[in-house]
Amino acid sequence: EAGVAQSPRYKIIEKRQSVAFWCNPISGHATLYWYQQILGQGPKLLIQFQNNGVVDDSQLPKDRFSAERLKGVDSTLKIQPAKLEDSAVYLCASSLSDGEKLFFGSGTQLSVL
Amino acid sequence: GENVEQHPSTLSVQEGDSAVIKCTYSDSASNYFPWYKQELGKRPQLIIDIRSNVGEKKDQRIAVTLNKTAKHFSLHITETQPEDSAVYFCAAANTGNQFYFGTGTSLTVIP
């Protein structure tokens, strides 16, 4: 079974630039998550989708972050403009449905200089 | 929202000894408690999980216990091996499948 796919694996940008990350969940998984993991901390939820609808985006900094999941399959997360404090690993995860196990992608390591 | 606290933040044990990591949660609606292992530069991997209708679950050298009344759960690793060295995260999830993670425990197994 293919896992959660993410790209790119690494990204280096300067502050105030924009960046986009892509995620393709495990086939058939209705729920998709974006997490931010700062070095030495646990994953922090940014946004949760159920199919193509947003379930929770309460911790998404909406002035600079946006995410979409058109057609309820793959998803993109965008940061515009980036700040130094956005340097982190951005993890995408998916689950089959409510109460099911969460599977992570390999993440995108973002460095903002 | 849910608040998950995890202790200790770092843990060193001799190979063959046991390791215990503890987590507490605040939301009584949480009903699913997974544990993840994350090696350096890799994705978090699910190693064991427990649901709220169960008090204990074991899988070879790994076990998890849950005390719903006290709102705490623990990971137990017996006969530790160097390959157990990693960062371990606990999480609590509710019926809406919203997962909240602890801050992680860096486990070092000394050969």
- Under 8 Å between Cβ of A22 and A79: no
Residue B70's φ and ψ, nearest 5 degrees, are -90, -5
**Cα A69 to Cα B20: distance, rounded to the nearest angstrom:** 39
Q: Which residues in chain A belong to E strands, given as ranges? A: 5-7, 10-13, 19-24, 31-37, 44-50, 53-56, 65-68, 75-79, 88-95, 103-104, 108-112
| Residue pLDDT, tens place only, B7-25 | 999 999 999 999 999 999 9
Query: Per-residue confidence at A52, pLDDT binned at 50, 70, 90?
Result: confident
pLDDT of residue B22: 98
pLDDT of residue A1: 54
Taking contacts as CB-CB distances below 8 angstroms, the residues of chain A near B44 are 43, 91, 104
Query: Per-residue confidence at B95, pLDDT binned at 50, 70, 90?
Result: confident
Chain B interface mutation, best of A104, A106, A108, A109, highest count of B Cβ atoms under 10 Å = A104
- The more confidently predicted of residues A71 and A60 is A60
- Amino acid at position B110, single letter: I
- Under 8 Å between Cβ of B100 and B44: no
**Cα B93 to Cα B78: distance, rounded to the nearest angstrom:** 26
Angle at A96 between CA A92 and CA A99, to 5 degrees: 100
Taking contacts as CB-CB distances below 8 angstroms, the residues of chain A near B31 are 99
User: Which spans in chain A are helix H?
Assistant: none
Query: Per-residue confidence at B111, pLDDT binned at 50, 70, 90?
Result: very high
